[in-house]
Amino acid sequence: MKRILSYLFLFFGVWGWGQEYDLNALYQMADTANLSIVNTRLDIAANREQKNIFLSSRLPQVSAIADYRYNAIIPGQIVPADFFGGPPGTFAEVKFGVPFNLSNTIQVNQFLYNSQLNYGLAALAINAQIVEIQQQVVKQDVRFQIASAYFNVQAINQQLAFLDKNVTNMNALIKNMEVLFANGMVIPTEIDKLKINKINLTNGIFKLENTRKQLLQLIGILVGFGEGKEITLVKDEAITKPMLIEYNEVVRPEIQLLRAQKQMNIEEYKGTKMAYYPNLSFYSALNYNYNLKGNFRTGIPSAFLGLRLDWELFDGNEKKNKLKMNLITREKLENQERLASQQLNLVTDNAKREIAVQTANLAMNQEQLVLAERLYEVSKKQFSGGTISTNELLQAETSVQQAQSNIVSSYLQLRLAELSLLKSISQLK
């Protein structure tokens, strides 16, 4: 039994709590659990139910009414008294009804023609397109946030690797310096300079680790991992790998959304114009009144059928003003579509230029790092030979650190530029 439990713990530890995630796995998790994406699925479901509600209004509406009434004062009517043998020219009060009355009614109402119902179905169909497009836009936004944080974490991992190497080198220099100090060849302040540099390196590591933790928590929230939980990412050198960019001619979801909204505007215009026409409905009722008084019991049935025509002849120009507002909104949507297209094209062009710039910067920074590391190795030998000072050695070491930082920054900026380009052409997948 203990062996089985150990295997189970090992299995879930590897595949559950201890699992490491790459970028594609994060995308899949977000598609399932990101709250913004979940809400878009709820919007799609809500639109579907709204359509069902709307279709229900086109079906017959049947209602049953039961009414039990006690007439505390039975209503009366003044009639000529000679109806009952009284003197002509006089009047008498006659009461109609009994104290207790039970009424049962079944009513049926059915729209035969309603312009708003026909408009509503078309509007709901367009709204279904809108919510689906909004889901695509939200997915692209969420993936951009995830990927940006992901590459920042990978950049930090690479920077930490550089710093760990620098700390190891500094520890070796400090150890050699302490040997020289023991032999009376250097003064204590020279050792202190190296220790200060090590402290700075260690402090840099601490800050980067804190930033990484914050980014991992952000990624955890974006993918629905849970608040307060820190997700674990793979160390796959993703920061150094170029992203695959396919320049497919596609209509961007932002443009699709504005076009769908414009189509909705057109349907609203049609619906407002249709409201000028009358509505026709059928109605019927079956009623049964049961009167109760002492030993007297009587049931009186009644039924009727009817057609109702509703036609609003004047509404104070409300529909006319709605049509004018509708046309203004349509013009605004057309302007927004042109503006959005221009802005997206600008983002795409800027991203392409940034990719070219950062690619060139990366090549220069890689060369700079090679030269800085070569100079640092020469400086260490010169320092050991006593031909250069500690300050000169530290300057060479600082050049290496700066070159390391520059190359990591170039990698990161290049990946972020690629992300911006992919997002602008809706290719984050």
Q: How is the chain split into domains, by residue range? A: 114-275+317-424
Task: Give the model confidence (pLDDT) of 283-324 as tens digits.
Answer: 899 988 877 665 556 778 889 899 999 888 888 898 899 999
Residue ranges with strand state E in 229-375 = 279-293, 296-310
More confident residue, 174 or 114: 174
Q: How confident is the model at residue 180 (pLDDT cuts 50, 70, 90)?
A: confident
Note the pLDDT of residue 8.
Answer: 37
More confident residue, 337 or 57: 337
Q: How confident is the model at residue 401 (pLDDT cuts 50, 70, 90)?
A: very high
Note the pLDDT of residue 292.
Answer: 67
Length of the chain: 429
Q: How confident is the model at residue 223 (pLDDT cuts 50, 70, 90)?
A: very high
Q: How far apart are CA 358 and CA 153, in angstroms?
A: 19
Q: How confident is the model at residue 116 (pLDDT cuts 50, 70, 90)?
A: confident
Residue 388 is classified by DSSP as S
pTM of the model: 0.81
Measure Cα distances from 26 to 16, 157, 246, 368 in Å: 14, 18, 21, 35
Q: What is the mean pLDDT of residues 129-158?
A: 95
Q: Of 172-176, 181-185, 292-296, 403-407, which gets the smallest average pLDDT?
A: 292-296
Note the pLDDT of residue 409.
Answer: 95
Buried b (16+ CB within 10 A) or exposed e, 245-266: eeeeeeebbbbbbbbbbbbbbe
What is the percentage of the chain residues whose pLDDT exceeds 90?
A: 56
Q: How far apart are CA 12 and CA 19, in angstroms?
A: 9
Q: How far apart are CA 317 and CA 319, in angstroms?
A: 6
Decide if 215 contacts 156 (C-beta within 8 A). yes
Q: Kindly tell me the burial class for residue 26, based on how many C-beta atoms sit within 10 Å of its own C-beta (0-12, 13-18, 19 or more).
A: buried
What is the token pair recorded at 312?
A: 């609003």
Which listed CATH number (3.40.50.300, 1.20.1600.10, 2.60.120.10, 1.10.3720.10) goes with 114-275+317-424?
Answer: 1.20.1600.10
67 forms beta bridges with: 103
Q: What is the mean pLDDT of residues 58-85?
A: 82
Task: Give the model confidence (pLDDT) of 320-356 as tens digits.
Answer: 999 999 999 999 999 999 999 999 999 999 999 999 9
